[in-house]
Amino acid sequence: MTMLGTLKAHTYEITKPDEPLAWLGSGGFAWLTESNVIITSGTAVTVDATQAIAALRAIDGEGAIACGALPFTSSETGQLTIPSRVLRCNANLCSVTEIEGATLANSPQLAQTPRRFSVEAAQDLTAWDEAVASALAQIEDTELRKVVLAREVFVQADHAYNVAQILSTLAATQPGCFVYAAGDFVGASPELLVRRDSARVTSRPMAGTVARRASIADDNAAIETLRASMKDAAEHRYVVDAVVAALTMHCVAIEVSDPEPVPLATVTHLTTEIRGELRSAATALDLALALHPTPAVGGTPTDSALRTIAALEPFSRGSYGGPVGWVDATGDGEFAVALRCAQLEGNKARLIAGAGIVEGSDPDLEWAETQAKLEPMLRALVRP
């Protein structure tokens, strides 16, 4: 930490730029919501997630953040970046924080817009059916009550993808979501894992899903079916109970709303808002790590679900389903669950989407659910 102690941060106010994404440096972090914009460039230092708060507090001056996407699997190394420059804008203020002496990164340039694409599902329907059948057998015969199974889709374009362009598309087409980028990992998540604002803590878990319908009447009917579904209610309850149990270790005066369907661009999720008052010194990052993985992305009981995922999924999830977001030196911050995402590599992209398997799950319906969840990112990537 000695080297970190020599870092100095300077913050100054600016007029909100017309194009905030022009401030995104190559490999930078972006966080776009209806009320908050964070865009970074350059890297002052990269630290293990467990050392991020200490590193921030060793910096002379205010305004620095640690940000990024952490892996789904806790055994994988999780790191966060303290950027060289941070642009932060909300409804009232726009400011820039710069780390003295740190190097900025150039904004990524788009040489040619991709126009031709190929899309391939890595797992076919037969493999999916077999995995779901295995999960259902374990739910019947063991302590496992829910497991989230995911599948991969690969996209290849004729030219390299541009992160800023994808972010702009997602921001325009996915209202109500946390649109994010951590280097070449991009997405638009509807699910707030945790937000800490001084002593106020908020989580908004989602579980239980139905695809949107073309007509208003059909869509309303589908939403009412979701609202009345015992299967989806049970799946949702697992998540809410787990989040409340984890937050109880750090919060008092916990309030839990009734679950309500929240329509998004391609799906409607059952959603519960959970609020509490912090009674410990836990930071937003501490809370995110304590909550992850919720049954919304892992299952319940957690250990059984994770073992099942490792046995049935023929790939590593990477940052899919993990916490993505930011935290500052005071401990305030915001983390979403990394969903509706893609890992980019030049002209290639890997997408992952999952569905919660519980007693009564139908493999075909769960496959259709993953299709609906893949749709937002496919629309952003495949632009004929």
- Please return the burial class of 212, using the count of CB atoms within 10 Å of its CB with bins 0-12, 13-18 and 19+: middle
Q: Does the pLDDT of residue 152 top 60, yes or no?
A: yes
Residue where the block lists tokens 């991969």: 152
**Catalytic residue from among 76, 100, 143, 191:** 191
pLDDT value, residue 77: 72
| Least confident among 89-103, 122-136, 324-338, 355-369 | 89-103
Q: Which of 327, 39, 47, 51 is nearest to 180 (CA)?
A: 39
pLDDT value, residue 4: 54
16 is a catalytic site residue: no
The phi, psi pair for 148, rounded to 5°, reads -95, 115
For 10-21, how does the pLDDT look when each residue is reduced to its tens digit (9 = 90+)?
A: 999 999 999 999
For 282-295, how does the pLDDT look when each residue is reduced to its tens digit (9 = 90+)?
A: 999 999 999 999 99
CA 288 to chain centre: 11
191 is a catalytic site residue: yes
Q: How many CB atoms lie within 10 A of CB 44?
A: 24
Q: Does the pLDDT of residue 110 top 70, yes or no?
A: no
**Catalytic residue from among 98, 146, 152, 334:** 146
Task: Please state the domain extents for the chain.
Answer: 4-99, 117-178+190-381
Q: Are 19 and 37 in contact (CB under 8 A)?
A: no
User: 117-178+190-381 — its CATH code?
Assistant: 3.60.120.10
Q: What angle do CA 215, 220, 225 make, to 5 degrees?
A: 125
Q: Are 138 and 308 in contact (CB under 8 A)?
A: yes
Q: How confident is the model at residue 1 (pLDDT cuts 50, 70, 90)?
A: very low
